[in-house]
Structure 1
Amino acid sequence: MRYLLVVFLGVVTAQRPAPGSFPCEPRLMRATGTDMEGPYYKPNSPFGRGSGNQPTVCSENLPGTRLYLNGTVMKVTPDQPCGSPIRALLDVWSADVNGAYSNIAPESPDFTCRSRFTTDERGNYAFSSILPGRYYDSGWRPAHVHWKITPIDANGQPVGRTITTQMYFVGDQYRAPNDSCEACNSGDSSMVTHVTQIPGGGTAGRCRLLAYRPQRMRRLIST
C-alpha cells in the first residue's frame, strides 16, 4: 500500500499549542512533496528520549532556541475528507544550532538531535527540539528538519510506505531558488511551516500530517 503525505498548517498560537483541535477544511489540504533523505541520516536512533511524556529530538541542554511542534497523523479518503487518525512511527533528525549533524558512523554512539517516537492511538504527536542552524555546502542550505513517517498498526508493525520529507520555515531567505541543494524541494510551500515566539522563550508551531492513497488523491482534489 502506497501513501502520500499532506501537511495542513494549523493556526500558530502564542503558546505551546495543544494537540488536536484542527478545523476541518478539506479544500485547504495540500499534498506535501517528498524530499531527499540527505547524506546525514543515521538509522536506529533512540526511542522516546525526553522529559515527561514529550519526546525530545535535540536535548534541552543544547544551546539554541527551543522549538515545540505537534500535530496529528491522519488517513484521508473521499468518504472522510478530514481524515481518520492513524498511528505512525516518526523518525526525526536535524542539525544543531551551528548547522552540524552528529556522527553518522554506524558504530558511533552519538545520536545528537535524532529521535524516534510514535503517535498515540489518535495520531497525535508532540516533541521539542531546537531551531536548527543553516550550513554551508557550496552555498547555504536553509534551516530544516528531516522526517520519516511510517504508518503502523497497534502492534507497531508497518502498514504503509515510509514517507521521507523535510520541513522548512517561513521567511528563510535560503529556500529555493537560493538553496544550494538544487535537488531539494525547499521551494515547495507545502513543506513550509510557521512558528511563533511563546512566553518564556522558544518557538512553537503545529501541523497535521495526512496520509492517503495517490489514486484517491485525484478524486479528492477534483471535488
Structure 2
Amino acid sequence: MTDITTERATAAASGAAATEQFRTRQGAGTADVDTKRVDTLVTELLSAAHDIIRRHKVTYAEYDALKAWLIRVGEDGEWPLFLDVWIEHVVEDVAAENREGSKGTIEGPYYVPGAPALDARATLPMREDERGTGLLFQGQVTSVSGAPLAGATLEIWQADADGYYSQFAPDLPEWNLRGTVSVDDEGRFGIHTVEPAPYQIPTDGSCGRLIAAAGWHAWRPAHLHLKVAAPGHQPVTTQLYFKGGSHVADDIASAVKPELILEPGLAANGKDREVTYAFVLDRA
C-alpha cells in the first residue's frame, strides 16, 4: 500500500491507497468472461454515450475536456472513488433486488480486509484520546426465518470525528476504528465506538474538479460501514446513517435508504448514545 503516513490527506494519496487495496483484493487473475455479455454491455454503453453526444450537440472543445479529465482520473488514481460514488449504488440495487433480508448499500473505496478479530462485546481499536460522542452499537444477526446465527461475523469500519479513515489518511493508527466482531451464541453483539462525522470526498483531484464544474456538493453523511456474513447465508454489505444528520437527504453517493437510518438514544450514563439494529440474512 502507498505510504501516506507522512503525506497530507490528499485525493492523490487516498486514491492511490484505494486503488492498491482494490488490486490486492482482486488478485492476479480475472473471472471467466462471457464474450457475448461483454459485447452487449459495452455496445449499449457506447450507444448511450453516442446518443448523449448527438442529443446535446457535444462540441470538440467539450470532447477534448472530457478526454483530458478521463486521463487525469487515472493519473490521480481516482477511478475507485469515481465508480464507488456515482455508479456502485445502482450495481448494488440490481445485485440485491431479490433479497428478503436486510437492505445493503455500497461498500465504498475505504474497505480494508483483515481487521482485528474482536469478541461479541468489544470496543473498536481507537486512540486513547479519540474524539467524538461515545456510541454503543448493538443488535442481533438472524436468518430470514428468525433463527439466531451464532456463526456470524460483522466487519465494521468508519471515519473518525474529523471524517478520516485509517489507512487512507496520515497520522492514524493502522486499524483505528476497524474491527471484525464475532457474535455470541444467540447472534448478538455490542460494539463500543464513537459517532463518525460527515465528510467531503476528496476534492483536490479529478472528482473534485467534476463536482466543481457541475455545481454539486461533495458531502457524505456520517455513517458506519458493515459487512455481515454467516455460513450458509448471503453476506450483506451496508452503511448505517443517523437520523437528522447532515446530508442524509442529499448524499453525494446516493447510498442512503430509509431502512438504513439509525435513531440512537441517550445511554444510561447520560453522556453517550446507544442504538439497537437487527441484521437479517437470506439463505445462500
Give the TM-score taking structure 1 as reference length: 0.68
Secondary structure of the structure 2 residue equivalent to 1:173: coil
Match of 1:43 among 104, 113, 121: 113
Note if contact 1:60-1:129 (Cα within 8 Å) is conserved in structure 2. Answer: no
Note if contact 2:123-2:192 (Cα within 8 Å) is conserved in structure 1. Answer: yes
2:132 corresponds in structure 1 to 64
**How far does residue 63 in structure 1 lie from its aligned partner after superposition?**
1.2
RMSD after superposition:
2.5
C-alpha separation in 2, matches of 1:59 and 1:114: 8
C-alpha separation in 2, matches of 1:150 and 1:99: 26
Note if contact 2:123-2:191 (Cα within 8 Å) is conserved in structure 1. Answer: yes
C-alpha separation in 2, matches of 1:103 and 1:148: 18
1:75 corresponds in structure 2 to 143
2:238 corresponds in structure 1 to 165
Secondary structure of the structure 2 residue equivalent to 1:55: strand
Higher strand share: 1
C-alpha separation in 1, matches of 2:135 and 2:279: 18
Q: Deviations over 1:154-200 (max 9, x none)?
A: xxxxx333210100111123013x11113x2x1x1111111012243
Q: Name structure 1 gaps, 5 residues minimum.
A: 7-31, 78-82, 153-158, 215-223
1:119 corresponds in structure 2 to 183
2:225 corresponds in structure 1 to 146
Higher relative contact order (CA 8 A, sep 6+): 1
- Aligned AA (1:194): E
Secondary structure of the structure 2 residue equivalent to 1:110: coil
**1:206 is aligned to 2:237:** no
Q: Which has the greater radius of gyration?
A: 2
Q: Name structure 2 gaps, 5 residues minimum.
A: 1-95, 202-216
Identity of aligned residues (%): 28
Measured at CA, do residues 211 and 91 of structure 1 come closer, stay the same or move farther in structure 2, by a change above 3 Å? same
**How far does residue 126 in structure 1 lie from its aligned partner after superposition?**
0.8
**1:193 is aligned to 2:262:** yes
Trace 1:95-134 onto structure 2 (pairs within 5 A). 95-104=159-168, 110-134=174-198
Q: Deviations over 1:140-163 (max 9, x none)?
A: 1100000000113xxxxxx33321
Note if contact 1:5-1:163 (Cα within 8 Å) is conserved in structure 2. Answer: no
Higher helix share: 2
Give the TM-score taking structure 2 as reference length: 0.54
C-alpha separation in 2, matches of 1:94 and 1:5: 26
1:24 corresponds in structure 2 to none
- Tell me how many residue pairs correspond in the alignment: 168
C-alpha separation in 2, matches of 1:140 and 1:58: 26
2:70 corresponds in structure 1 to none
**1:84 is aligned to 2:151:** no
C-alpha separation in 2, matches of 1:161 and 1:211: 6
C-alpha separation in 1, matches of 2:186 and 2:103: 24
**1:181 is aligned to 2:253:** yes
Note if contact 1:41-1:104 (Cα within 8 Å) is conserved in structure 2. Answer: no
- Aligned AA (1:139): A
- Aligned AA (1:179): D
Match of 1:54 among 110, 116, 121: 121
